[in-house]
């Protein structure tokens, strides 16, 4: 049903899946830069189509709204929410009596801005496994949100400016909504602000946020993409305290590696336990792991899961 050619492809439909080099036909699970390319024709959700074109310019797309099957290249294709960022989708491909679910990046837990993941059952599962290591069991979401809000308030109380580093697509909008719900205003970097406008066009309310123009405002936090600490960028701000918002912060040394003052373990990926729960829920005959540690495959096999690293030889890749 599928094969691996420097990336996942559905063989019968000749459809590339999240491949980062230009393809004649490709499915894009979401609009993060490590999942997109300037394909000739792209299948994706309507929300991802807007973000995809924002990032790469006008492209030809076929829209796949959640839960609405499309007959394509001899397969039935259906998207399901992935809970990762606006428009993020899992793809279910069905061919007669065989089905394959590709998760893309996903999160089972609640989100402030997008529907949570809803993985269906499938015979074959291709699962994104970024946190496929037992040390990455994230703290409860409510606790992480509480830490973030409390920390931002403490920094503001110290007459300093909280500068939050978060991915421009997805994490920044979630952090914006979490803070504005608690009465904290937000100033957004230009790249983040452009994406937030798309969220609002798609009906996602983020609360009161404004474009960051290099100058702070009383009671406001500033959100920037990771690594945006250009010389002079924050010269007109009060004393700055930086916060990274990432699942990697489950490791207590993360703030030193990331070069920030604080790190909050709020993730938009499934942690180790949720990866295992997803496999149980999908109940596949075969499981293929991608974007994660190879040791996750070993761990699954020890637990009786018929698991492989994506790209390794297996019976399904011969169809």
| DSSP state, residue 104 | -
Together in a domain, 95 and 76: yes
Q: Positive or negative, the Cα torsion across 227, 232, 233, 236?
A: positive
Q: How confident is the model at residue 12 (pLDDT cuts 50, 70, 90)?
A: very high
Q: How many domains does the chain contain in total?
A: 2
CA angle centred on 168, ends 164 and 172, rounded to 5°: 50
The mean of the pLDDT values for the chain is 94
Together in a domain, 197 and 55: no
Query: DSSP string of 1-70?
Result: -EEESSSEEETTTTEEES-SS--SSEE-S---GGG----SSEEE-HHHHHHHHHHH-S--EEE--BT--E
Pair 316, 1: CB distance under 8 Å = yes
Q: How confident is the model at residue 119 (pLDDT cuts 50, 70, 90)?
A: very high
pLDDT, position 214:
87
Q: How confident is the model at residue 312 (pLDDT cuts 50, 70, 90)?
A: low
pLDDT at 317 over 50: no
- Over residues 281-290, the mean pLDDT reads 97
Residue 6: CATH number of its domain: 3.60.15.10
Among 249, 264, 279, give the residue marking a domain's end: 264
Residue 254: CATH number of its domain: 3.40.50.10890
Together in a domain, 100 and 161: no
Rounded Cα–Cα distance for residues 20 and 176 (Å)? 29
228: left (phi over 0), alpha (psi -120 to 50) or beta: beta
Tell me which of 132-141, 187-196, 228-237 is least confident. 228-237
302 in helix, strand or coil? helix
CA angle centred on 278, ends 61 and 28, rounded to 5°: 15
Q: Positive or negative, the Cα torsion across 88, 39, 36, 99?
A: positive
Together in a domain, 130 and 273: yes
- Over residues 272-286, the mean pLDDT reads 98
Q: How confident is the model at residue 227 (pLDDT cuts 50, 70, 90)?
A: confident
Together in a domain, 129 and 273: yes
Pair 299, 314: CB distance under 8 Å = no
pLDDT, position 230:
53
pLDDT at 111 over 80: yes
Read off the tokens for 117. 């993941």
Together in a domain, 8 and 122: yes
Rounded Cα–Cα distance for residues 106 and 247 (Å)? 13
Read off the tokens for 54. 């924002």
Together in a domain, 193 and 82: no
Together in a domain, 145 and 26: no
Query: DSSP string of 172-226?
Result: HHHHHHHHHHTT-EEEE-HHHHHHHHHHHHTT----SEEE--SB--TTEEEEE-T
256 in helix, strand or coil? helix
Together in a domain, 259 and 274: no
Tell me which of 18-22, 79-83, 110-114, 312-316 is least confident. 312-316
Domain extent for 184: 141-264
β strands within 45-181, DSSP E: 61-63, 70-72, 75-81, 89-95, 98-102, 124-128, 161-165
| Each residue's pLDDT tens digit, 25-56 | 999 999 999 999 999 999 999 999 999 999 99
**70-72 and 61-63 beta bridge pairing:** unpaired
Together in a domain, 118 and 157: no
Query: DSSP string of 259-276?
Result: T-SEEE---SS--HHHHH
Together in a domain, 233 and 298: no
7: left (phi over 0), alpha (psi -120 to 50) or beta: left
């Amino acid at each position: 049903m599928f094969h691996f050619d420097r990336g996942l492809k559905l063989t019968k439909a000749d459809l590339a899946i999240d491949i980062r080099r230009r393809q004649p036909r490709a499915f894009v699970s979401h609009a993060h830069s490590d999942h997109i390319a300037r394909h000739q024709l792209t299948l994706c959700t309507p929300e991802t189509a807007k973000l995809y074109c924002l990032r790469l310019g006008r492209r030809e797309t076929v829209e796949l709204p959640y839960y609405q099957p499309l007959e394509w290249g001899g397969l039935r294709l259906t998207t399901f929410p992935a809970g990762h960022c606006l428009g993020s989708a899992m793809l279910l491909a069905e061919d007669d009596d065989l089905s394959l679910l590709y998760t893309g990046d996903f999160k089972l837990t609640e989100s402030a801005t997008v529907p949570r993941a809803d993985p269906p059952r499938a015979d074959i599962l291709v699962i994104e496994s970024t946190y496929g290591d037992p040390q990455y069991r994230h703290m409860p979401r409510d606790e992480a949100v509480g830490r973030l809000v409390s920390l931002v308030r403490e920094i503001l109380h110290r007459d300093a400016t909280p500068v939050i580093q978060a991915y421009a697509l997805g994490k920044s909008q979630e952090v914006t909504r979490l803070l504005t719900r608690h009465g904290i205003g937000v100033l957004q970097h230009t790249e983040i602000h452009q994406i937030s406008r798309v969220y609002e066009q798609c009906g996602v309310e983020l609360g009161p946020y404004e474009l960051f123009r290099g100058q702070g405002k009383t009671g406001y936090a500033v959100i920037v993409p990771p690594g945006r600490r250009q010389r002079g960028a924050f010269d007109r701000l009060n004393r700055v305290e930086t916060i990274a918002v990432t699942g990697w912060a489950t490791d207590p040394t993360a703030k030193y590696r990331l070069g920030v003052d604080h790190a909050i373990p709020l993730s938009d990926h499934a942690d180790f336990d949720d990866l295992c729960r997803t496999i149980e829920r999908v109940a596949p005959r075969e499981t293929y792991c991608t974007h994660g540690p190879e040791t996750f495959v070993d761990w699954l096999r020890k637990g009786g899961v018929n698991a492989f690293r994506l790209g390794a030889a297996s019976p399904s890749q011969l169809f």
